[in-house]
Amino acid sequence: MKQNKQRKVCEFLMPLPLHIQENEGSFRIHNGITISSAPIFRDLAELARLQLTCNLGGEDILFKLSEGFSPEEYSLKVTRNQIVLSASYIQGAFHGLQTLRQVALANDNIIPCCFIKDKPMYSWRGFMLDCSRHFFSPSFIMKLIDVAALHHLNRFHWHLTDDQGWRFPVAGYPKLESIASKRKEIEYTKEFSYGGFYQKKDIEKIVAYAHRRQMQVIPEIETPGHASALLAAYPNLGCSKGPYEVQNHWGIFKEVMCAGNDEVLSFLDSAIGTLATLFTDPYIHIGGDECPHTTWEQCPACQKRMHDNSLKNENELQAWMITQIAKLVEKHGKRPIGWDEVLDGSENLGLPKNLIVMSWRGVEGGLKASQLGHQIIMSPNTQGCYLDYKHLDSIEEPGNLGVTTVQDTAQFTPCPSQMDIKSQAMVLGGQANLWTEKVVFSRQAEYLLFPRLSVMAERLWNPQPIESIENRRSSLEKKLACLDINCYRGNYQ
């Protein structure tokens, strides 16, 4: 009888490792297999026990502490009798475990013999979920974190506030939950409300879950625009003092935080302080995008602020506000990140050098910020990074505002061709974003995220062409199915 040809380990992986040596034979994982580890990797060995359905004790799978690896680097040696995963840091050992887990999911627990040595191209490999427009449960968020970490992503950007809802508590501001977290639904003749709120225990649980998977969590609080939900709860923080309402439709709204009101900065100090306590990773995202200046132009307090600080126009007033908010973030021991509009109006005033710029309106914001000496994260909506866009230009496909094919995502690079070497050194990495104006349910979110998020992960780890991705499509879809992920299965191009 003719034997089936042994499949190669590279057929089952996304991202592809940096170096793979394929060897003859295979190792089968089953519930009799044992795992052992160096003391530094004990928690990871316990996670491996759960993810691979093995037992702690012997050395069928060994997590070995070795010198000379960079923080996210690892090696994986698979023979017929043993698997040895070597790393110097827990991040690298975790990535090695996820590589092993990918093969196990895609190939029915049969691991082809091989030697892998691997590390990422970029340090920031992120994904963003908008939980303001539509609320997603903690269990679903943890499900996404697990699948993202399986693909070696390491940053979860959590969009928590916007015009349509505020999602986290701040001591002394109870109306954030009672008013700002809910909006009136307009689809029915009978009045309904929609909303949700993450309590302190929810946030702590999600952060701990992410950390066990070597993923940092970056909360976003929108400032000074996209503030309707906040103003509905606390109208004294707006220019006109209201009345305001939590918005039940989408767009950009003229009512924003009053730049001339010191109470706004006092509130933001409390809110940012809360985020700094709940989220123990180094970053807080302060928004900064899509802030109209209409109310500032007519507000005596804002005009006085401009006069007192010798600001020429409302663009400079926004730059002044961004600087104050960034200083609050730094005061609480974190590093600020802002969308590329934070650059607007900063030509004369400048911005704190520690501020990281996230470029979303194409690549131009990233190019400008890097030339000004800011570190940048590339996430251009024009380059395959916006996953709320349709997979295909078809009336049959869900999605919003544009089209991002799998091929578009497969061509993304955080360092575009027009970027010089000096600017390339300022690039931390890239990120894919899922805005949820039209994403009501978690199954819709999964369909829009995958497989494009898997492809984005590879672009930030070890970029491969679309043909290579197509060749690994069946194994990718099998892995996602094993994890109960609803996946787009149409044309990749």
147-165 pLDDT, tens digit each: 999 999 999 999 999 999 9
pLDDT digits (tens, 9 = 90+) for 398-415: 999 999 999 999 999 999
CB 59 within 8 A of CB 36: yes
124-482 in CATH: which number? 3.20.20.80
CATH topology of domain 9-118: Chitobiase; domain 2 (3.30.379)
State the number of CA atoms in the 13 A half-sphere of 467 facing the CB: 0
3-state SS, residue 144: helix
pLDDT at position 257 is 98
User: Residues 6 or more apart from 491 whose CB is under 8 A from it?
Assistant: 392, 405
What percent of the chain stands above pLDDT 70?
Answer: 99
Distances (CA, A) of 168 to 140, 171, 325, 387: 17, 10, 18, 24
**Closest C-alpha to 259, from 308, 221, 215:** 308
pLDDT digits (tens, 9 = 90+) for 11-50: 999 999 999 999 999 999 999 999 999 999 999 999 999 9
Q: How confident is the model at residue 310 (pLDDT cuts 50, 70, 90)?
A: very high
CB 213 within 8 A of CB 220: no
pLDDT at position 3 is 52
Locate CATH 3.30.379.10 in the chain: 9-118
Distances (CA, A) of 435 to 126, 157, 159: 14, 12, 9
- Count of CB atoms situated within 10 Å of the CB of 482: 12
Q: Please, is 131 exposed, middle or buried when counting C-beta atoms within 10 Å of its C-beta (0-12, 13-18, 19+)?
A: buried
pLDDT at position 1 is 42
Tell how strand 74-78 and strand 83-87 pair up.
Answer: antiparallel
pLDDT at position 188 is 72
Q: How confident is the model at residue 493 (pLDDT cuts 50, 70, 90)?
A: confident
pLDDT at position 2 is 46
Cα 493 to chain centroid distance, Å, stands at: 24
Assigned token pair, 57 = 């004790």
Give me the count of residues in the chain: 493
CB 380 within 8 A of CB 467: no
Burial 208-246 (b: 16+ CB within 10 A, else e): ebbebbbbbbbbbbbbbbbbbbbbbbbeebbbeeeebeb
pLDDT digits (tens, 9 = 90+) for 96-106: 999 999 999 99
**Closest C-alpha to 55, from 64, 45, 65:** 45
323-327 contacts at long range (C-beta below 8 A, 24 or more positions apart): 323/349, 323/351, 323/352, 324/265, 325/223, 325/224, 325/265, 325/268, 325/272, 325/286, 326/286, 326/351, 326/352, 326/354, 326/355, 327/352
pLDDT at position 185 is 85
Locate CATH 3.20.20.80 in the chain: 124-482
The Cα 335–Cα 50 span in angstroms is 35
pLDDT at position 376 is 98
Higher per-residue confidence, 349 vs 451: 451
3-state SS, residue 372: coil
Which helix (H) or strand (E) covers residue 421, if one does?
A: helix 421-424
pLDDT at position 50 is 97
CB 328 within 8 A of CB 268: yes
- Count of CB atoms situated within 10 Å of the CB of 477: 18
Beta bridge partners of 356: 337
Q: How confident is the model at residue 4 (pLDDT cuts 50, 70, 90)?
A: low
CB 113 within 8 A of CB 91: no
The Cα 202–Cα 122 span in angstroms is 30
pLDDT digits (tens, 9 = 90+) for 329-383: 999 999 999 999 999 999 999 999 999 999 999 999 999 999 999 999 999 999 9
pLDDT digits (tens, 9 = 90+) for 103-139: 999 999 999 999 999 999 999 999 999 999 999 999 9
Question: What is the overall mean pLDDT for the chain?
Answer: 96
Distances (CA, A) of 320 to 107, 272, 273, 346, 349: 55, 18, 20, 8, 7
Catalytic residue numbers? 162, 226, 290
Q: Is the pLDDT of residue 187 over 90?
A: no
Apex 129 CA angle, 126 and 135, nearest 5: 160
CB 439 within 8 A of CB 393: no
Beta strands in 131-179 (DSSP E): 155-159, 161-162, 165-166
Name the amino acid, one letter, at 121. Answer: M
Q: How confident is the model at residue 51 (pLDDT cuts 50, 70, 90)?
A: very high
Work out whether the CA dihedral 486, 451, 119, 74 comes out positive or negative: positive
Q: Is the pLDDT of residue 143 over 60?
A: yes
Apex 430 CA angle, 401 and 72, nearest 5: 145
Report DSSP state, residue 331: H
Q: Is the pLDDT of residue 292 over 60?
A: yes
Q: Is the pLDDT of residue 199 over 70?
A: yes
